[in-house]
Structure 1
Amino acid sequence: MIALPSPDEMYQALLDKNSQYEGVFIVAVKTTGIFCRPTCSARKPKYKNVEFFSSTKDALTSGYRACKVCRPMKDYQSSPEWLEPLLKLVEDEPDKKWKDYELTKRGYSPSRVRRYFNRTHGITFQAYLRMSRINSAFLKIKEGQTVTRSAFEQGYNSLSGFSETFKNMTGFSPGTEGQIITINRVQTPLGSMMIGVTDEGLCLLEFTDRKMIETQLSVLKRRMKSEMVTGKHPLIDAVSTQLDEYFEGTRKVFDIPLVVPGTEFQQKVWNALIEMPYGITRSYKQQANVVGDVKAVRAVARANGENRISIIIPCHRIIGSDGSIVGYGGGIPRKQWLLKHEFENQ
């Protein structure tokens, strides 16, 4: 991997709109949540509000969205003509889920689009859309709806408690219930992860590029009757610290309180995962036996896939009966890395 120039050099290139740095770095603006080319013509941010990445993929997985002014998802001065209308459609409808059949209906070959994004940005077209939607949602959560933000800023960790107080004071209810989930991101050696906590415990720890993360967020909000705000929380700091220790090889057991709403069977599966020793693997069949139903192999696999707390609830330790490394929401390469890491640090 080629090292990036110094931050000072890259920032000066940004101010100068120096085209010689195209393809060398991507600049992201913390205050707006967008990432740009070095030659972007938009108003220049302050030095303290930028961070630099070597690729669009890194900027996306760190929570940023593509700039509509300089359009960094295009090849610099060479984006293929056939792709231009699709890129424009995506920019105009950033929340739309483009299915393969819709691409075909509009005259695009899904495989051709996928190859272009893989070659140019190192991710598939669908992964780009998914990360863009998540990053847009993250920004909206950060901005906060009035009721949720008010409750959070006034120190309430329960929307129902805030609603009741508000009703007693004003005579009417703002219509809130449930808890507030504070979310933020943390960088790990395996990529960006999203953390979600309440005052009771950790309820979300997922890789931001996981295919199921949108579904996981939706399920979590529904089951906990919650709203989400971005912010700081002592428990987020604790999780981040323990993750650092895990990746350094000095922590083998986590002691973070967990909040894991789910069915009785899911709870049994997740508890069995938590009790698995560090560096040990089991097959899905063996795990089904631990849970108490040797015939429930598929149900165990499904519950593993619905786990919302990666690494700490170590579903990566479950492998195929033949020893193959299969079935991990964060991707097989990450599962291989985690198993190798634990084996080497036992």
Structure 2
Amino acid sequence: MSASLLGGKSRALPLSHGAKDAFVRVRKRDLEKLTTEVMQLREFLPRVLNGDLIKMLHKAQAAQTMKEHLVQEQEQLQQQCLHLQARLDAVQTECQKEREEKLLLREQLWQSGTQLQQQADFCSGLGSATCSLLWSSSAREHTVSQWLADGKLQSFLSVAAQTLESFVRSLDEDVKTQTEDHTSQEHQFVLALAGTITNIAAVTCGRDFLSSSAHVLLDTLMKLLELMKPGVFPKLKVLMLMALYNVSISVKGLKYISENPGLLPLIWTLLDDGDWEVCLHTLRLLQSVLLEEDVLLLLGSSLLDPDLQARVSRLTTTVQPSLRLAAQQTLEDLQSFQQQYIL
């Protein structure tokens, strides 16, 4: 009687110890049931594993890929960071080196500036003392004659003209008007130069030399007088005007000065300078012009300008006796010339 009929379960036969393949005895109905269950699992498993789960799996895979990519990028960034840190350290070291060099250069510059100022002060003192001696010596006619004989006067006058121009152009009129220090070595140096030129022009041989061979100097003096504003360094203006007046004593010198188109405008400006000595020596230069007939013919109607007479006329009421007298004499000369010119 079989096991199924007896209601019992089938039993698997024991495996033989020597068999190469293992076999199991299963009832046909159980095998079919198992097959059906497997087919059902294959059919319904995708439905169980829904789309969200699949998406999550895909995202997990993408996240893993991204993680690997980020790890690589992080490693690259770390390498770049190390490289940049090395460069930063090098640049900071270089910066510190440059900062130290700049501090050293600044210290050297300060020392050089101090030394330069000391040298400038020394040169100003030496120039002031030397030119003061020249100024004093030039008061002697024999000295000027000797300078001319030595042939060194031309180079001295050239240097003097350049020095005067450099000084005048460096003036800050707005400040100097209030704070001039005529006792400073620089001012004394410049005054001594101008005074020496004035003394040279006061000597006949020196005046003739200036009239014929120092036209650049004469042009420079007139240009500087034009550049200097009213009230600025009147002592220097007076010396330059005296030099021009001394040159004008020579007919040749007066003719050259008068040919300068800026002469009369300069005279008009200086008559309103405000310093009485500047006005006085300006009038004397104008008087020298009015005394020479050839110059009067050259200037002609320019001397008849009512503004010129008005400026001279205002000075006739000044409280300074010498200035008032010079203004009266000049006004008479202008009126006399006007009458002659009209006739």
* TM-score bucket (shorter structure): under 0.3
Higher share in helix? 2
Larger-Rg structure: 2
TM-score (norm 1): 0.22
TM-score (norm 2): 0.22
Higher share in strand? 1
